[in-house]
Every structure is written in C-alpha cells, then in structure tokens.
Amino acid sequence: MRLPTPGRPHLTYCTNIHRGESWPEVRANVVTHVTAVKTRVAPDRPFGVGLRLSGAAAAALAQPDELAAFRALLAERGLYVFTINGFPYGAFHGTPVKEAVYRPDWREDARLAYTDQLARILADLLPTGCDGSISTVPGAYKARIASPRDVDAIADRFVAHVATLHDLRERRGVTIALALEPEPCCQLETVSETVGFFEEHLWRRTVPGLDRRTSAEALRRHLGVCFDACHMAVEHEPAAAALAAFAAHGIHVVKVQVSAGLAATLAAADDVAALRAFADDVYLHQVVERTAAGLRRWSDLPAALEEAAREPRRREWRIHFHVPLFRERLGRFLSTQRYVRELLALVARQAVSQHLEIETYTWDVLPAEYRSEPVTNAIAREIEWVVAEIARPAEGAPPART
C-alpha cells in the first residue's frame, strides 16, 4: 500500500513472521495470512508483499511455471511484491538459528548465487514502474572476519551482484537495489562502520564489464542500506543523524524496516529473572549496554544475563528482540517504540525511503502473554499503528494507539 507522504513510499510487513521454508508453505502463507491482513488494512486498494524466500523456496519459485502461477495469484488477490527479505537463507522458525542465520555469508559464493536468484525472481514479479529491493546480511558475522582478505572478498561479491542488477536493468527495464542491513555484532554494525565500508571498499571498485563512470553510477544505484529501526536503536544511533550520515556519503536508504526492540533497566535481581523470559534458544538476541566508558556488547542475551546475575548492579540495556510496534511496554520493560516514532516523524516529512517494511519475526518466541491474539490481527494492528503515527501532527499530539 502507498502512503500519502513525501515520495509516496510503499508500506508492507515481512512474511518472515510466518513459518514456512518450502515454496508451497510460503505460497500458502500469502493465500491465508497476507490476504487476511490486506482484507483488514487495504480492502479496496493494492497491497504490497514483503516476501521472504529461503534458498529452497527461491529455487522452486524460480521455475517459469511457478512464477507465472504466482503472478496470477497476486493479480487475483490485489497483491504485488516490491521487496524481498534475502537475509535468512535457511530454516528460520522452530529450530535454533542463532549466528547460523548469517550463513552462507558474503564471503561465500552460495550467498551471491542465492541473491542473484532473488533478483531475477523479483524482476519477474515487480509491477510496471515499481522499483524493487532486497535486504541482505551485512557482510558476515563479525567473528567470522579473520583478515582484510575476507573484507575484500565480501566487497567483490557485492560488486558482482551489482553486475547482475545492472544487467537486469539494461535487459528488462527494472531497477532493483540491494540493501545491506547493519546489525549488532556483524561486520557492518554501526553507522560509521557502514559508511567506512562503502567509502573504502565499494565506491572505489569497478563493476565487471563497465567503464568507470557507468560503474560508479551502477554502484550507487544498486547498493544501499536497509535501515532497521530495532538495530539502530539497540546501537544508540540517533535516527536523524544516521540518515544524515548516509545521505552525506551518497548511500541510499533502500529500505526501512520498521521494528522495535527491548529497552530494559536492570535494577534488582527480579529484573534479571523477568528478562529471562525473552532468552529463547532460537534467535540471537544481541545486547548493548551504555556505560560511562561507552557501549558494551554481548552477542546473545543468555550470556549477558549470566553476567548480570553474577555481578548485580544497575544496567541499561537495549536488546535485539523484535517486539510488536504497538506495545510501548512489555511488563516491567519498555520497547524502543519511542525511537520508531521519531523515525516515522522523519518519514512523514521527507522522502527517507521508497520501501517501508514492518518486521516482527520473533512473534513465535515472545512470552505467551504478548502473543495471545491471532498473528494476522497483530500484524494489522502494527500496520494501523504505523499509518496513524505517520499521519499525526509532529508537535503536540498524543502517541498513536491501536
């Protein structure tokens, strides 16, 4: 669905919230869940789909007959695909994922082949006149970067993917951009690290088969960032300053993932005990603590909780655990909803990005009291919350509530 804000961006939610690794499962999710959400939030207008495809699902959908059938299904239901979440390649629900979510990473040819395939699929699904986006792993998990050669290998594969995107634009007339998604404890974690990587390792490269001028244009057209609001809030990156830094270096915000994390104050032992409810064994929940000496990080919540129990003191944590946007508070803890509201206020005033995607993939592992309603109802409430936030006046109005 399009929003009546500068640039008229598309708004959707990411289907990675739904279980499903095979193509028949993903297709069934579109038929049931996505259609149900559209019926509530956009019954009389086209509704965009934020598609998540595993490697196996992408290989199945890439078959011409399957693509033709899916295009027909989308048209029949008033749906269109404008963005793909190309971050998680393998299983993403019901089994421990943790740092395996980054594999294959951009040091590996399998990641490039997968992303090239996603781009070809998206080129076949995009409506006429609509640009596409694919969000991806921010290089690799930081612990896997062993040397400058790894960084060069990652940059080389990003540039190789740009060659694929440039070719699609030349042959098919479609423009697709790859959105590198900074995340805690990854190669690209902070705004400054991300800017440095673009300046030092991407903008200086030449796309195979292109002259220097055409190459520079292609790199800036087809590479950018995915601004995940949860990740940025966890890293204490002010939204306005982060967007300004990307703009100053010519880095396009290809996609904004509208997401909220946890903001926890640990002042007593029972605070630590209460937070254990969020320490699931499926996803990696990085923790960032602000201290007088700067930011301190843990790669996962259980390790941070273990130290907090062993060394009790007051702590201010932000945690990479995506929680429903409409929840300002989860028990004794806050969400980073305030950060999201500040970001959406910017979206309401300026053309931040053409693509907005709500991403609350951790629905299945939320403590039970926060996921008692049907998931499609919760998704619709998130979309309605975002629309109301963007529509409300910048000054003096109460926060949107749904």
The pTM of the full predicted model, rounded to 2 decimals, is 0.96
Could you give the CA distance from residue 333 to residue 92 in angstroms, rounded to a whole number? 26
Q: Nearest CA to 175 among 134, 233, 228? A: 134
Q: Please, are residues 301 and 309 in contact by the beta-carbon 8 Å criterion?
A: no
Q: What is the pLDDT of residue 133?
A: 98
**Lowest mean pLDDT across 53-57, 253-257, 388-392:** 388-392
Instruction: Give per-residue burial for 82-98: e unless 16+ CB within 10 Å, then b.
Output: bbbbbbbbebbbeeebe
Could you give the CA distance from residue 57 to residue 26 in angstroms, rounded to a whole number? 8
Cβ atoms < 10 Å from Cβ of 253: 20
> Which residue segments constitute the domains of the chain, with CATH numbers given?
10-261+332-391 (3.20.20.150)
Q: What is the pLDDT of residue 155?
A: 98
Instruction: Please state, in angstroms and as integers, the Cα–Cα distance from residue 70 to each residue in 42, 66, 142, following that order.
Output: 20, 6, 37
Could you give the CA distance from residue 393 to residue 133 in angstroms, rounded to a whole number? 30
* Percent of residues, the chain, with pLDDT higher than 90: 95
Q: Please, are residues 273 and 220 in contact by the beta-carbon 8 Å criterion?
A: no
- CB neighbour list of residue 63: distance below 8 Å, 6 or more residues apart: none
Could you give the CA distance from residue 54 to residue 60 in angstroms, rounded to a whole number? 10
What pLDDT, in 10s, does the model give residues 294-314? 999 999 999 999 999 999 999
Q: Nearest CA to 1 among 30, 29, 37? A: 37
Sign of CA dihedral 192, 196, 199, 205: negative
Q: Nearest CA to 345 among 282, 289, 399? A: 399
DSSP-derived secondary structure letter, 132: E
> What average pLDDT does this structure show over 25-50?
98
Could you give the CA distance from residue 135 to residue 115 in angstroms, rounded to a whole number? 9
Is the model's pLDDT at 395 over the cut of 90? no
Q: If you average pLDDT over every residue of the chain, what do you get? A: 96
The span from the first CA to the last CA of the chain, in angstroms, equals 19
Is the model's pLDDT at 401 over the cut of 90? no
